[in-house]
Structure 1
């Protein structure tokens, strides 16, 4: 099983340059990261355009998202888990709750779900991101009314 993950800019004119590289990751952590729609690093937000499996590594291709910014008021230094935010277009999505997770299997089971039941209400997944700066997964949801 491959244990290398590389983030690359989706820039064919510059031969898809690598911007971040992980060695020896747990495969389930790689799958969690591949299920995210956005990646945050060094204060910049990138949108995931595609993923690939190469001979010796997994690759995630990114485009810079100039319209999005990391949340300046977001909590730092949390244990493994998922920050749940109620999706708000064009403004900061408020944090709804934080779900602490035992391992990346538990993280993946939530990130990869289209619908989640939280506090007795159903929510739909809008998008997910890996915020490398804060080392946290963020899941954006909206209430379905169910």
Structure 2
């Protein structure tokens, strides 16, 4: 188990401690470091960089935007929402995956391409939304349509 800190960039090029987590497992830290965005208390932060400082994992962030705090999703397992990166359509949900480990989360958010509903999707970004208790993977369609499994030789 380790310690994770989120540090916020201030106007004067310094950082202040924003949030910290004691006794967090390494798999979760790595999954969080893979996320470009972090949402907590209605604020979205953009990850600038990450580091390991004397056995403390640090994720450096800047404030990206404010919004209303959304309700937590009522689920006991880890959830990964896969959403199309389309702001005009309010980021339509492609699928929701119920996963058991942060390593499973990493297997999706760490991939350049994923495949859902017979289509290939290109990874754009990922976020951990602590308000809703979900990971979100944002993707765009590549245009590649996959053959159906029963038609493959």
Q: Secondary structure at the match of 1:29?
A: helix
Structure-2-length-normalised TM-score? 0.84
* Residue 109 (structure 1) aligned with residue 120 (structure 2): no
Moved more, 10-19 or 118-127: 10-19
Find the aligned partners of 1:123 and 1:12 in 2 and give their Cα distance.
37
Counterpart of 1:77 (choices 65, 71, 74) is: 74
Match of 2:97?
Answer: 99
Q: For 1:93-114, what per-residue CA distance to the aligned partner results, in whole angstroms no more than 9, with x for missing partners?
A: 1112101112111111111111
> Normalized per residue, which structure has more strand?
2
Q: Which has the larger radius of gyration?
A: 2
Cα distance change, pair 86–12 in 1 and its aligned pair in 2 (3 A): same
Q: Aligned-residue CA RMSD in angstroms?
A: 2.1
How far did 1:145 drift? 1.0
Unaligned runs of 5+ in 1: none
Aligned length: 143
Unaligned runs of 5+ in 2: 145-153
Find the aligned partners of 2:11 and 2:30 in 1 and give their Cα distance.
25
Match of 1:88?
Answer: 86
Match of 1:131?
Answer: 129
Match of 2:21?
Answer: 22
| Map 1:3-82 → 2, pairs under 5 A | 3-11=2-10, 13=12, 15-66=14-65, 69=67, 76-78=73-75, 79-82=77-80
Structure-1-length-normalised TM-score? 0.88
How far did 1:23 drift? 0.8
